[in-house]
Chain A
Amino acid sequence: MLEVTDAREVAVDQAFEPTIVAFFCNWCTYLAADLAGTSRMKYAPNARVIRVMCSGRVDPQFVFDAFARGADGVLIGGCHPGDCHYQEGNYKALRRYQLTKRLLTDLGVEPERFRLEWISAAEADRLRDVMNEMTAQIKALGRADFSVPDEPFDIPELEPEPEIEEAVVS
Chain B
Amino acid sequence: MSDKPKVAFYWCASCGGCEEAVVDLAEKLLDVADAVDIVFWPVALDTKKADVEAMGDGEILATFVNGAVRTTEQEEMVRLLRRKSQLLLAFGSCAHMGGIPGLANQWDRETILDTVYRQSPSTVNPEGVVPQQVTRENGYEVYLPGFYDTVRTVGQVTDLDYVVPGCPPTPGIIAGAVATLLSGEVPPKGSVLAPDVALCDECDRKVTKPETVSLTEWKRPHLVDVDEELCLLAQGLVCLGPATRAGCGAQCVGANMPCTGCFGPTSRVRDGGGKALAAIASLVGSDDPDEIERILDGIPDPVGTFYRYSLPASLLRRAPMAQPVKITTQGSDARKVTR
For residue B296, CB closer than 8 A to chain A, the reply is: yes
A12 to B334, CA, bound (A): 15
Considering the complex, give the chain B residue whose CB is closest to the CB of A165: B58
A70 to B306, CA, bound (A): 23
A68 x B148 contact (CB < 8 A) = no
With A68-B317, A96-B277 in contact, is A11–B337 under 8 Å at CB?
Answer: no
Interface residues of B in 297-318 (CB under 8 A from A): 299, 301-303, 306, 314-318
Binary per-residue interface labels of chain B (185-220) against chain A in the complex, 1 for a CB within 8 Å, 0 otherwise: 010000000000000000000000000000000000
Considering the complex, give the chain B residue whose CB is closest to the CB of A91: B287
B315 x A15 contact (CB < 8 A) = no
A150 x B319 contact (CB < 8 A) = no
Which of chain B's residues have a CB closer than 8 A to the CB of A153?
A: 72, 146, 148
Band of interface residues on A = 35 or more
B80 x A10 contact (CB < 8 A) = no
For residue B61, CB closer than 8 A to chain A, the reply is: yes
Binary per-residue interface labels of chain A (132-170) against chain B in the complex, 1 for a CB within 8 Å, 0 otherwise: 000000000011111111111111101001101111111
Total number of B residues with any Cβ neighbor in A under 8 Å = 71
Which of B57, B149, B315 makes the CB contact (< 8 A) with A68?
A: B315
A68 to B327, CA, bound (A): 17
B336 x A148 contact (CB < 8 A) = no
With A81-B287, A91-B287, A100-B277 in contact, is A169–B182 under 8 Å at CB?
Answer: yes
A102 to B306, CA, bound (A): 12
Binary per-residue interface labels of chain A (37-72) against chain B in the complex, 1 for a CB within 8 Å, 0 otherwise: 000000000000000000000011101110111100
A146 x B320 contact (CB < 8 A) = yes
Chain A proximity of B25: nearest CB distance (Å): 20
Chain B proximity of A12: nearest CB distance (Å): 10
A149 to B270, CA, bound (A): 22
Which of chain A's residues have a CB closer than 8 A to the CB of B320?
A: 107-109, 144-146
For residue A26, CB closer than 8 A to chain B, the reply is: no
With A8-B324, A64-B315, A155-B76 in contact, is A147–B302 under 8 Å at CB?
Answer: no
With A16-B332, A155-B76 in contact, is A169–B61 under 8 Å at CB?
Answer: yes
Which of B3, B302, B327, B330 makes the CB contact (< 8 A) with A102?
A: B302
Which of chain A's residues have a CB closer than 8 A to the CB of B289?
A: 94, 98
Interface residues of B in 130-187 (CB under 8 A from A): 146, 148-150, 181-184, 186
- A interface: dominant SS: loop
For residue B252, CB closer than 8 A to chain A, the reply is: no
B337 x A70 contact (CB < 8 A) = yes
Which of chain B's residues have a CB closer than 8 A to the CB of A7?
A: 322-324
For residue B83, CB closer than 8 A to chain A, the reply is: yes
A53 to B322, CA, bound (A): 38
Which of chain B's residues have a CB closer than 8 A to the CB of A168?
A: 86
B80 x A158 contact (CB < 8 A) = yes
Which of chain B's residues have a CB closer than 8 A to the CB of A13?
A: 327, 329
Which of chain B's residues have a CB closer than 8 A to the CB of A161?
A: 82-83
For residue B28, CB closer than 8 A to chain A, the reply is: no
Chain B proximity of A134: nearest CB distance (Å): 16
A96 to B277, CA, bound (A): 7
Considering the complex, give the chain A residue whose CB is closest to the CB of B323: A7
A143 x B284 contact (CB < 8 A) = no
Chain A proximity of B62: nearest CB distance (Å): 8
Which of chain A's residues have a CB closer than 8 A to the CB of B325?
A: 8-10, 142-143, 145
Considering the complex, give the chain B residue whose CB is closest to the CB of A107: B319
A155 to B75, CA, bound (A): 8
B271 x A64 contact (CB < 8 A) = yes
A146 x B335 contact (CB < 8 A) = no
For residue B331, CB closer than 8 A to chain A, the reply is: yes
With A59-B275, A107-B303, A167-B87 in contact, is A64–B280 under 8 Å at CB?
Answer: no
Known: A10-B325, A103-B306, A166-B86. 15 other contacts (CB 8 A): A9-B324, A15-B329, A15-B332, A17-B332, A61-B274, A95-B282, A95-B286, A102-B296, A103-B277, A106-B301, A146-B317, A153-B72, A164-B58, A164-B86, A165-B86
